[in-house]
Amino acid sequence: MFTLSADLHTHTIGSGHAFSTVKEMAGAASEKKLSVLAVTDHGSAMEGASGAIYFRNLSVLPRNIGSVTILKGIEANIMDMDARLDADAPLLSRLEWVIASLHENVTAPATSAAHTEMYLKLADNPLVDMIGHPDTPAYAFDYERVIREFGAKGKIVEVNNEHAFCHGAQNGKNCARIASLCKKHGVRIAVNSDAHIFSKVGEVGAALVMLDEIEFPEELILNLKHERVLDYIKSKRALFV
């Protein structure tokens, strides 16, 4: 079984429907023996989420809280089938970790063909680091074609424990299929909690069981090692210190 070093998808009270502060989330990460925590509150199109000024001001967060390195990020909403996001390029380029996700209360599902074209366009966006929870049944797409393209464009594909294993059996099946394709095509993944409260930070047990079952190669798991995460961030962001 893998032991992870980072949780790269978490929400604070800044999301409007999550319940812990950055300090509480960092404390929970430390208790779970994680050394990197990405704060990735929802983009402004999500009901109740913070506006652009909140994300610009993430620069006030310290690099470390206790023993935990803090990454200043966002879970941007994919707004339409042209892969437009609810944060502009100047804002995204200031952040250290950018997730792009579809949410049914923001963007209505379309056809599988439209989702496929959308993800192929998203793969071309250099400001996006990770594709959030791609397992949603309502947003089915051509997994093989898109996963190959994510790999070609250096995107990280998320295995989201909460989304895949707490929202119905089909999500979990889709997640396992996507992970198997990442293994086949050598595409990196990150395994995250999507915690909306401190007690869920680092909770990825079901995802790790699935990865074990499909004998997923550890070298493709970005957040397995602290240095692996920071090397990735530094490779994309010259200003990261």
State the residue number with the nearest CB to Zn ion: 101
Single-letter code of the amino acid located at 214: I
Give the SS3 label for residue 190: strand
Query: By C-beta, is 6 or 148 nearer to Zn ion?
Result: 6
Q: Which stretch binds Zn ion (CB under 5 A): 142-150, 189-197, 206-214, 232-240?
A: 189-197
89 neighbors 76 (Cβ within 8 angstroms): no
Of 41, 75, 117, 158, the one binding Zn ion (CB under 5 A) is 75
Does residue 158 bind Zn ion (CB under 5 A)?
Answer: no
Nearer residue to Zn ion within complex by CB, 117 or 158: 158
Q: Give the β-pairing of 156-160 and 97-101.
A: unpaired
Stretch that binds Zn ion, among 66-74, 116-124, 146-154, 194-202 (CB under 5 A): 194-202
Q: Least CB distance from residue 114 to Zn ion, whole Å?
A: 19
Q: Is residue 194 involved in binding Zn ion (CB under 5 A)?
A: yes
Q: What string marks each residue from 82 to 101 as x (binds Zn ion by CB under 5 A) or -? A: -------------------x
Residue type, 238: A
Structure tokens at 165: 């294993």
Query: Is residue 203 part of the contact set for Zn ion (CB under 5 A)?
Result: no
Q: What is the DSSP string of 68-92?
A: EEEEEEEEEEB-STT--BSS-HHHH
Nearer to Zn ion, 148 or 204 (CB): 204
CB closer to Zn ion, 5 vs 40: 40
From residue 91, alpha-carbon distances to 18, 50, 73, 79, 155 in Å are 22, 13, 10, 16, 19
Closer to Zn ion by Cβ: residue 75 or 86: 75
CA–CA distance, 46 with 32 (Å, rounded to integer): 29
Cβ distance to Zn ion smaller for residue 27 or 134: 134
CA–centroid distance for 198 within its chain:
17
Number of residues that bind Zn ion (CB under 5 A): 3
d(CA 185, CA 35): 29
- Shortest spacing between CB 76 and Zn ion, in angstroms: 10
Q: Are 127 and 88 in contact (CB under 8 A)?
A: no
85 within 8 A of 55, measured Cβ to Cβ = no
Closer CB to Zn ion, 4 or 8, in the complex: 8
Residues at the interface with Zn ion (CB under 5 A)? 75, 101, 194
